[in-house]
């Protein structure tokens, strides 16, 4: 069947307004950072219901038509790239928050809803959806589920995987799998929803989800800490955790090379802590009593200073001060703006070995003449660090050279080439540093079974 055939059929079945082609595609793009590059696609589809998606996938399956799913286009691994042979499905119209169930503490939502709107809907009912990261204003929940996103609160509340109770998914052939249950416990065979979480749209298209909410914390206190060495960063995490009785909710580390430009961009000349320490940590507690929690944290920080675990501390409890402090970690675009050509990494390693790994990588990067700087920071309590490598040149060779330096040592540390961003296109060649041939073989078998024509996000991950 020819190309026009499928587009005609899709227009007939969905209506003209939901199928964009030719000139209508020019204003579209495949990533929020590449808005100047027009989308490559045969057509862009705008379903506004699960029924539309079933029709789309049945038609695409019939034609063996490859599809690429677009959420908020904030992924960092090239997983929404497409070619002019693909049909792109954008989930932007399926953005309704369907229900907030206060007793069950669940929120039922369509996959195209923006993360920040979900957070707000929960907050309005005195509840919280704890998934939080810098791209929350653009990322959709379907994208976050498909990438099993992590972010700033994983340490206390887990990855997206831990926050999803039910899913509705359309498979490659248009079969609808609906399991929008609100249950915490359900041991009835395989937990099928987990297959789609983190699958980057390669096994099915998520249309709706039931999310787990938690009670809104009644207190929030934050502090910026400075450290003389990495060993103290690790020891203080353990010490704070055991002394804060479960209220420690974030512990994010910034290497000096990252703190300096971030602090200058956020605070100008009025830095919360001097820029001369090797390590900084942004920590947060979430509890039930603002004043008592503040006092407890201040006592602990004073103890930590006396015991020389930390070298300096800048606590803050007013919401405005805290927002500003957290900009240090949430607005990495300040660092990206300094880069000529930036390359991003998110690595998982055992916490105790992070420093050694980073030192080794920095030494090797130093040998590459086109590397200008490497900014290091991350979700320290999860053993997850990010590197942003600034280069004078772009291109395959430089990308591959930096990739090798960063990824090659991972295997010997028992780490992962992707802590939270996923594999997409960018990390495919390095999957074997984290996964055995048998694991990759099983993934390929699953893909073959669930998408025998290979039409869902073709070429991504595997």
Ligand X SMILES: Cc1cc2nc3c(=O)[nH]c(=O)nc-3n(C[C@H](O)[C@H](O)[C@H](O)COP(=O)(O)OP(=O)(O)OC[C@H]3O[C@@H](n4cnc5c(N)ncnc54)[C@H](O)[C@@H]3O)c2cc1C
Residues that bind ligand X (CB under 6 A): 69-76, 79-80, 91, 111, 133-135, 139-140, 142-144, 146-147, 149-151, 200-201, 205-206, 420-421, 457, 460
Least separation in angstroms between residue 416's CB and ligand X is 13
Of 114 and 401, which CB lies nearer to ligand X in the complex structure?
A: 114
Q: Which of 415, 160, 134, 380 is nearest to 248 (CA)?
A: 380
Spatial contact of 302 and 315, defined as CB atoms under 8 Å apart: no
Among residues 151, 295, 129, 300, the alpha carbon closest in space to that of 217 is found at 129
Looking at the Cβ atoms of 208 and 294, the one nearer to ligand X is 208
Q: What is the DSSP-derived secondary structure letter of residue 86?
A: P
Q: Which is nearer to ligand X, 66 or 201 (CB)?
A: 201
How far apart are CB 91 and ligand X at their closest, in Å?
A: 5
Read off φ and ψ for residue 180, nearest 5 degrees: -90, 55
Q: How far is the CB of 400 from ligand X (least distance, A)?
A: 22
Q: Which residue has its beta carbon closest to ligand X?
A: 143
Give min distance, CB of 33 to ligand X, in A: 7
Minimum separation from the CB atom of position 189 to ligand X (A) = 23
Q: How far is the CB of 147 from ligand X (least distance, A)?
A: 4
CB 286 within 8 A of CB 219: yes
Q: How far is the CB of 289 from ligand X (least distance, A)?
A: 29
String of DSSP letters for 400-439:
HHHHHHHHGGGGGGT-BSBSSS--TTTTGGGGGGTS-HHH
Cβ within 8 Å of residue 17, ≥6 positions away: 46
- Other beta carbons within 10 Å of 43: 21
How many CA atoms lie within 13 Å of 51's alpha carbon, on the beta-carbon side? Answer: 2
Q: Who's near 291: CB < 8 A, 6+ residues apart?
A: none
Please name the residue ranges forming H helices in 115-219: 115-124, 141-146, 154-157, 193-196
Nearest residue (CB) to ligand X, 207 versus 221: 207
Which CB atom, from 75 or from 108, has the smaller least distance to ligand X?
Answer: 75
Minimum CB separation of residue 315 from ligand X in Å reads: 24
- Sign, CA dihedral 119-123-128-130, equals positive
Reference 377, options 271, 281, 235, 267; nearest CA is: 281
Q: With CA atoms as reference, report the closest residue to 410 among 344, 373, 343, 356.
A: 356
């Amino acid at each position: 069947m020819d190309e026009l055939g499928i587009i005609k059929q899709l227009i007939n079945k969905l209506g003209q307004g939901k199928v964009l082609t030719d000139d209508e595609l020019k204003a579209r793009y495949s990533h929020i950072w590449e808005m100047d590059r027009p989308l490559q696609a045969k057509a862009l589809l705008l379903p506004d219901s699960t029924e539309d998606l079933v029709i789309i996938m049945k038609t695409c399956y019939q034609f063996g038509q490859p599809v690429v799913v677009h959420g908020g286009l904030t992924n960092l691994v090239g997983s929404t790239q497409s070619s002019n042979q693909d049909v792109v499905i954008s989930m932007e119209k399926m953005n309704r928050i369907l229900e907030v169930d206060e007793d069950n503490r669940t929120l039922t939502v369509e996959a195209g809803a923006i993360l920040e709107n979900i957070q707000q809907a929960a907050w309005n009912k005195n509840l919280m959806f704890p998934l939080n990261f810098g791209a929350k204003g653009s990322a959709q929940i379907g994208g976050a589920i498909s990438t099993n996103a992590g972010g700033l609160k994983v340490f206390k509340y887990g990855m997206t995987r831990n926050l999803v109770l039910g899913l509705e998914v359309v498979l490659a052939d248009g079969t609808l799998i609906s399991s929008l249950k609100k249950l915490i416990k359900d041991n009835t065979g395989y937990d099928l929803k987990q297959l789609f979480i983190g699958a980057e749209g390669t096994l099915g298209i998520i249309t709706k989800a039931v999310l787990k909410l938690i009670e809104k914390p009644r207190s929030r206190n934050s502090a910026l800490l400075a450290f003389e060495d990495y060993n103290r960063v690790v020891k203080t995490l353990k010490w704070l955790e055991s002394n804060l009785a479960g209220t420690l909710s974030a512990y994010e580390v910034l290497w000096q090379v990252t703190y300096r430009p971030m602090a200058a961009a956020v605070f100008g000349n009025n830095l919360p802590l001097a820029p001369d320490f090797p390590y900084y940590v942004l920590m947060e507690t979430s509890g039930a009593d603002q004043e008592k929690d503040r006092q407890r944290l201040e006592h602990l920080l004073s103890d930590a200073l006396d015991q020389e675990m930390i070298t300096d501390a800048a606590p803050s409890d007013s919401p405005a001060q805290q927002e500003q402090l957290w900009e240090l970690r949430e607005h990495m675009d300040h660092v990206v703006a300094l880069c000529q050509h930036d390359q991003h990494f998110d690595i998982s390693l055992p916490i105790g070995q992070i420093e050694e790994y980073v030192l080794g990588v920095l030494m090797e990067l130093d040998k590459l003449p086109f590397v200008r700087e490497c900014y290091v920071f991350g979700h320290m309590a999860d053993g997850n660090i990010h590197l942003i490598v600034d280069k004078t040149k772009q291109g395959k060779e430089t990308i591959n050279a930096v990739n090798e330096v960063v990824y090659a040592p991972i295997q010997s540390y028992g780490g992962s080439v992707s802590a939270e961003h996923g594999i997409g296109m960018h990390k495919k060649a390095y999957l074997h540093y984290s996964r055995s041939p048998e694991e990759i073989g099983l993934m390929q078998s699953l893909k073959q079974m669930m998408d025998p024509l290979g039409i869902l996000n073709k070429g991504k991950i595997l």
